[in-house]
């Protein structure tokens, strides 16, 4: 079973077993006119997305959360439309979950923050990772950093490791 689709006004209930919805999203970036760059097909797959997807599936198979199942879905925004509201609704319907924005490069940071904002407003846990993330945040002054996303974790996913910072 995958993360349940959210249903409005129907009193939708999640099955008795506990589920954790993990959404892995490789964000795109904006063009010069402010539009998200998307293609019918992505010419180059994201290694970060593939690596973390494999690690997440391994965690799900080993049932690292005990009796809570992990449902994993991966999206590359360069060829998929990401709707944060829908991701949040599915996590809320399951009762637990998070969104990980993976492999974020410097030019994708504004888009990653724009994806994270509506999720954080709804209380969804968000992690932003990629080897550019730490460098991008280190270039911001303290006031700008505080204005970015309170509660959004930023990490480093080099060699399939995530170190979360608050």
Q: Per CATH, is 19-33+44-160 categorized as 3.40.50?
A: yes
Whether 41 has a pLDDT exceeding 80, the answer reads no
Locus of tokens 């911001």 = 140
What residues contact 72, with CB distance under 8 A and at least 6 apart?
A: 22, 24, 53, 56, 57, 60
Q: Which two tokens stand for residue 160?
A: 């399939």
pLDDT in tens, 124-148: 999 998 877 766 666 665 555 555 5
Report the helix count and the strand count for the chain, using DSSP H and E: 5, 5
pLDDT in tens, 70-105: 999 999 998 889 999 999 999 999 999 999 999 998
Q: What is the mean pLDDT of the chain?
A: 78
The domain limits of the chain are: 19-33+44-160
Whether 30 has a pLDDT exceeding 50, the answer reads yes
């Amino acid at each position: 079973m995958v993360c349940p689709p959210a249903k409005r006004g129907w009193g939708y209930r999640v099955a008795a077993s506990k589920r954790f919805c993990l959404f892995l999203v490789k964000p795109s970036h904006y063009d010069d006119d402010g539009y998200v760059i998307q293609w019918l097909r992505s010419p180059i797959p994201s290694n970060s997305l593939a690596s973390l997807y494999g690690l997440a599936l391994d965690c799900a198979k080993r049932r690292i959360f005990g009796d809570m199942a992990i449902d994993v879905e991966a999206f590359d925004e360069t060829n998929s439309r990401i709707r944060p509201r829908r991701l949040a609704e599915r996590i809320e319907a399951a009762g637990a979950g998070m969104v990980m924005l993976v492999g974020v490069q410097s030019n994708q940071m504004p888009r990653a923050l724009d994806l994270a904002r509506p999720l954080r407003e709804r209380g969804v846990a968000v992690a932003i990772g990629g080897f550019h993330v730490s460098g991008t945040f280190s270039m911001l002054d303290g006031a700008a950093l505080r204005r970015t996303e309170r509660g959004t974790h930023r990490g480093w996913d080099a060699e399939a490791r995530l170190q979360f910072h608050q």
